Amino acid sequence: MSRVSREDTPQERIVYSFLRANRIRFRRNLKRLPGSPDIVLPDHRTVIFVHGCFWHGHKNCRLARRPKTNKEYWYRKIDENIERDKKKSRELRKLGWRVFTVWQCQITSAKSEKTLKRLVTRIDKAQPRDLPSAGRDRSTLLYY
Ligand SMILES: [Zn+2]
């Protein structure tokens, strides 16, 4: 699934403007990190993935109901995406990054404000000083 020069999704735009409003600096689609995360917060050693519920197989979510036709195709495709997402997160954590996932259904509903506020609280807690210095130094070297 290539992410090259794709358009921002409406969900991503919601997250961007919330981060801006909270004065959190971010970069988009940083290709040098595993899986080129949607949103990278360098000051907080944090990445945010904004996932569409269907494509990324959000568990127990009504937006992620799998099609009844072409079952084999869709199941394989979505399961592959889930696996890829897990792998990306593992790689990023190994490099000392915190990984947060925001789901489409969490920001297109009435819960949106609450979800984003909680996200900002968690971001605030993810200060670089909390992270192991070895991981930080290595990542600094590689990615800045
Ligand atoms: Zn969902």
Higher pLDDT, 125 or 37: 37
30 CA distance to ligand 1 middle (Å):
24
Mean pLDDT over residues 19-28, rounded? 91
102 CA distance to ligand 1 middle (Å):
9
Q: 111 lies in a domain? A: yes
Residue 2 has pLDDT above 60, yes or no: no
Q: 131 lies in a domain? A: yes
Residue range of the domain that includes 18: 10-136
Q: 14 lies in a domain? A: yes
The whole-angstrom separation of Cα 25 and Cα 18 is: 11
135 CA distance to ligand 1 middle (Å):
32
Q: 47 lies in a domain? A: yes
Residue 37 has pLDDT above 50, yes or no: yes
50 CA distance to ligand 1 middle (Å):
11
CATH code for position 98: 3.40.960.10
Domain count along the chain: 1
- Please state the separation of Cα 42 from the chain's center in Å: 14
Q: 4 lies in a domain? A: no
The whole-angstrom separation of Cα 26 and Cα 4 is: 19
Rounded to whole angstroms, the maximal C-alpha distance in the chain is: 50
- Sheet order of strands, 27-28 included: 27-28, 39-41, 46-51, 98-103
pLDDT band at 126 (very low <50, low <70, confident <90, very high): low
Q: 3 lies in a domain? A: no
